Amino acid sequence: MSSVSPIQIPSRLPLLLTHEGVLLPGSTMRTSVDSARNLQLVRNRLLKGTSLQSTILGVIPNTPDPASDAQDLPPLHRIGTAALAVQVVGSNWPKPHYTLLITGLCRFQIVQVLKEKPYPIAEVEQLDRLEEFPSTCKMREELGELSEQFYKYAVQLVEMLDMSVPAVAKLRRLLDSLPREALPDILTSIIRTSNKEKLQILDAVSLEERFKMTIPLLVRQIEGLKLLQKTRKPKQDDDKRVIAIRPIRRITHISGTLEDEDEDEDNDDIVMLEKKIQTSSMPEQAHKVCVKEIKRLKKMPQSMPEYALTRNYLELMVELPWNKSTTDRLDIRAARILLDNDHYAMEKLKKRVLEYLAVRQLKNNLKGPILCFVGPPGVGKTSVGRSVAKTLGREFHRIALGGVCDQSDIRGHRRTYVGSMPGRIINGLKTVGVNNPVFLLDEVDKLGKSLQGDPAAALLEVLDPEQNHNFTDHYLNVAFDLSQVLFIATANTTATIPAALLDRMEIIQVPGYTQEEKIEIAHRHLIPKQLEQHGLTPQQIQIPQVTTLDIITRYTREAGVRSLDRKLGAICRAVAVKVAEGQHKEAKLDRSDVTEREGCREHILEDEKPESISDTTDLALPPEMPILIDFHALKDILGPPMYEMEVSQRLSQPGVAIGLAWTPLGGEIMFVEASRMDGEGQLTLTGQLGDVMKESAHLAISWLRSNAKKYQLTNAFGSFDLLDNTDIHLHFPAGAVTKDGPSAGVTIVTCLASLFSGRLVRSDVAMTGEITLRGLVLPLPPTKRILGWQADGCLIFCETEVLNTGQKMFDCHFNTWK
């Protein structure tokens, strides 16, 4: 038997007031330090101290919250626990605070408080000795049956737990190696007990009293475990889980430390996830990666940050539609009817979809085409993509690319980063659940670029039919086949799309609608939709086609139908107000009719004239008449027309011509005005013109002067020298808008030719095109053609109109102008 070597604590200890729990000797707990007194204690004692004694604190359980920072020291509990500060962690967010990891050493009793500020210091008396016990024979003799009874219950409790867990196995070994007098405090800190019960154990200075108070707690916990085991369904050996009484905290004693790993593994979910991996139809490469990751996951504790990341990765791999697809509807006749019902006009686009269906019917493994619908806003590019998916019987998913400036949105983040996730392509496949959906890449011309990469470059692999069968997302890090996906991109212009990306897509121009097409669209689709949204019926409102034409020509000027849809919505709202007011008046009238009829009945009974009852009770309102929307109603609802001035009025005198200007929104018309006056042969240009347009004006006047005799053009004095004693002023209205470009050359020539010949330019003709010094009119480049019209020479041909202004186009060259 070895000698006893007692360990003494200092007679003066700084007091740490804690409200988060009761620390018992032999146990370890974390406590938050955020009160003023405790903060001063940590800063002055722990952070500045260098000796071992400076890390010994007196931990006092405190019922009131010490964060209240009261001026006076609250009443202190008589008995506390001397503790060793093992770890100090600090933070300044959201406010300064520390987290302490403290280990209980022994009990002490406060004799006298020596100091209260900045933190309390007290004179203490040690109650139980910290000694190294070579054996427990003496304790067994003194306590006898009580100690053996406690030990028996403690062993029974531990053996009811899963011994395969390292923390439980270590606790079982400590029951045999630790002295018996240390076990009550250790087991009380492990089992589920309240702070009040722990406080009673702390106050039990006598070892015999401590044993007597702890045994009922062990018995209660054993009975609870037995009841839990009876109600719990049997599990397989590999699915055993620890029946956690509570998270076992780290337990430290003079002879050793028990550290809980907090391993409450969800083996059920992991086994189910492993079964899904085995039964999934993913490729061999992806299957190998999943098997490798699931093995790592089994060996990984849940507390590791990588555990959740790996589990999310495996769940995504299982949910992806590796071989799940929908069957295409290949009935071309039904597809044609469906497309015609959903969309009016757009013949070129419908033809391309039907061609794909026909080839798909002949060849099953056809790769999905990559189409790009280019057209002005509001012409139905996005809705056409939805109709294509409906026609094919496929799932539809829209990805908005406007403003995207990070290539990780397309290719995903690498799993080494915190918060990593797959790109929008893989996430969209997970959402639709099939590997052959219709993906609509909306606004592909509005992609950005930043320090995080170029998303347009990331799309090169996605939209390349020769590469996308092996698309690798950074998050997955395995190849996924995108060849069966039907990609449809939409754009307002191809000018901002990179050439490499544009080369991978099949461009389909979606033209703007003519007046006749807009009228048909309004009455087939827009008006029924607005009536349904506003709770109206065709018996309550009628909008004739003449009224629709007035809305198109006088209240909107666009290539699409969005403004038209909004105007129809405003009309429906105004009619809804009238209908609601009419129903209210009708209800009041019905109540007044009932009162009058009751009075009539009383009067008839008095006069004994029953034959007149039918005359009084047959009073009824006339049938409800629909509200007809005419031009006068339009003025009341929508206000005065926005585009009242007719083009023919502006071209009622020579020297005015109409040009066409390109814009990403579909283009617009542009007037050119010229006048001449006596002068010295100067040319004046106004209207915020750029240098290129100024050069076009000089080029036009030079060509006219050189061909004046050919076309019989003379000035006011009858001379073929057009600038002889004559000044020319050329103006482009809307002077606040900057204008530039070479395509106004033919318009300027026509305007000046009209001025010098005295002949009017047709009000239903607009033109665009660059003119050369030899009189050639160059065609527009493909990226600058007016959306919806084909360029041929100097003029644009369209069967009905340009931009809803009623100006008809004719295919001709300038030499046929006269």
Active site amino acids = 743
619 to each of 164, 363, 605, 616, 622, how far by Cα in Å?
A: 91, 72, 19, 6, 10
Q: How many CB atoms lie within 10 A of CB 533?
A: 11
- Radius of gyration of the chain measured on its C-alpha atoms: 44
Task: Provide the β-strand partners of residue 91.
Answer: 97
Q: For residues 100 and 91, give the distance between their C-alpha atoms in angstroms, rounded to a whole number.
A: 12
284 to each of 280, 297, 480, 818, how far by Cα in Å?
A: 11, 20, 12, 74
Structural contact between residues 636 and 628, judged by C-beta atoms closer than 8 angstroms: no
Task: Provide the β-strand partners of residue 795.
Answer: 767, 792
Residue 231's Cβ-count burial label (10 Å; 0-12, 13-18, 19+) is exposed
Spatial neighbors of 11 by CB under 8 A, at least 6 apart, are: 123, 124
Q: For residues 187 and 112, give the distance between their C-alpha atoms in angstroms, rounded to a whole number.
A: 31
DSSP labels, 642-684: SS-S-HHHHTSSSSEEEEEE--TTS-EEEEEEEEEEESSS-EE
The continuous run of DSSP H or E covering 450 comes out as none
Nearest to residue 808, comparing CAs of 514, 585, 478?
A: 514
Tell whether 379 is in a known binding site.
Answer: yes
Spatial neighbors of 294 by CB under 8 A, at least 6 apart, are: 270, 273, 274, 277, 314
Q: For residues 78 and 66, give the distance between their C-alpha atoms in angstroms, rounded to a whole number.
A: 17
Q: For residues 174 and 178, give the distance between their C-alpha atoms in angstroms, rounded to a whole number.
A: 5
- CA 628 to the chain's CA centroid: 44
Q: For residues 125 and 241, give the distance between their C-alpha atoms in angstroms, rounded to a whole number.
A: 45
Tell whether 381 is in a known binding site.
Answer: yes
Structural contact between residues 670 and 661, judged by C-beta atoms closer than 8 angstroms: yes
Q: Is 74 left (phi over 0), alpha (psi -120 to 50) or beta?
A: beta
Tell whether 498 is in a known binding site.
Answer: no
Tell whether 58 is in a known binding site.
Answer: no
Q: How many CB atoms lie within 10 A of CB 301?
A: 11
Maximum Cα interatomic distance, the chain, rounded to a whole number of Å: 141
Structural contact between residues 751 and 760, judged by C-beta atoms closer than 8 angstroms: no
Nearest to residue 349, comparing CAs of 358, 341, 339, 359?
A: 339
Structural contact between residues 475 and 421, judged by C-beta atoms closer than 8 angstroms: yes
Task: Tell me the two tokens of residue 549.
Answer: 């034409």
Please give the sequence-ordered ranges of beta strands (E in DSSP) within 140-220, or none if there are none: none
Tell whether 432 is in a known binding site.
Answer: no
Residue type present at position 284? E
In the block, tokens 């990469």 appear at 453
Spatial neighbors of 544 by CB under 8 A, at least 6 apart, are: 628, 629, 630
The continuous run of DSSP H or E covering 23 comes out as none
Binding-site members for ATP are 375-382
